[in-house]
Amino acid sequence: MSPAFNAPEIKKYKMAKTVLHKAETRGKADHGWLHSYHTFSFAGYYDPERMNFGVLRVLNDDTVSGGMGFGKHPHDNMEIISIPLEGDLEHTDSMGTVATIKHGDIQVMSAGTGVQHSEYNKNKDKPVKFLQIWVFPNKKNVTPRYGQFSLNVTDRKNKFQQIVSPEENGEGVWIHQDASFHIGKFDKDFKAEYSLRKKDNGVYVFVLSGEITVEGQKLKARDGFGIWETDKINFEADTETEVLIMEVPMN
């Protein structure tokens, strides 16, 4: 009788999916007082291949001249997050909010059933630079809400500091979506690993400054890199660098 033969086990490895958006490929709007770069389709910039990344709908990189800004305008059923990078941004809205945010602050507005707001550069002698991010909510027609939180930026030194949470009692501000945002500021050659909260989520990496390699992909300032169908992501700083990572549901 011939000896039994056991075929070797064949292991199947599922490769993560990725999308790369180089800084120079973003949409651009120049209104004189406003210079804006759009990672995803927005206003006059339309690309059917760049409508969103999961529930991440808008990622605008804005610079507003001294004393200028956006007049009162409406929003509804969107989670709107502002991250100041330089200068002071003044906010007013139809909920009666009057607030100023600066570098180190995080602002959120749940537009819900509808809200109007305005945003202005509080200073007349220098620009304000900030990211405005829109996320589709997981609940529609909620009561509009404003939130603001001041962070200690030294807490992101060589680690990920959470700035947006899906829970009301979480770190930073919270939104009506199962999403988490972090910022990390890393020394050259520092290595970090990020573990996803949920297997069906994806992570969109946006480089604020410097250069970094993410899962073998080299990225420079203002590059965007999305990765999903994975459970963890490896980072290695090629220079001193600062990155924003946004973990969001893909469906």
Per the structure, the count of domains in the chain is 1
Return the structure tokens found at 77: 């059923």
CATH number of the domain that residue 103 is part of: 2.60.120.10
- Domain assignment present for 157: yes
- Domain assignment present for 6: no
Percent of the chain with pLDDT over 90: 92
- Domain assignment present for 2: no
Taking the C-alpha atoms of residue 11 and residue 23, their distance in angstroms, rounded to an integer, is 38
Burial state string for 6-43 with b = 16 or more CB within 10 A and e = fewer than 16: eeeeeeeeeeeebeebebeebbeeeeeebbbbbbbbbe
Is residue 4's pLDDT more than 50?
no
- Domain assignment present for 1: no
- Domain assignment present for 11: no
pLDDT tens-digit series, residues 12-57: 446 899 999 999 999 999 999 999 999 999 999 999 999 999 999 9
- Domain assignment present for 5: no
Domain that holds residue 192: 17-249
- Domain assignment present for 34: yes
Return the structure tokens found at 126: 């220098």
137: DSSP letter? -
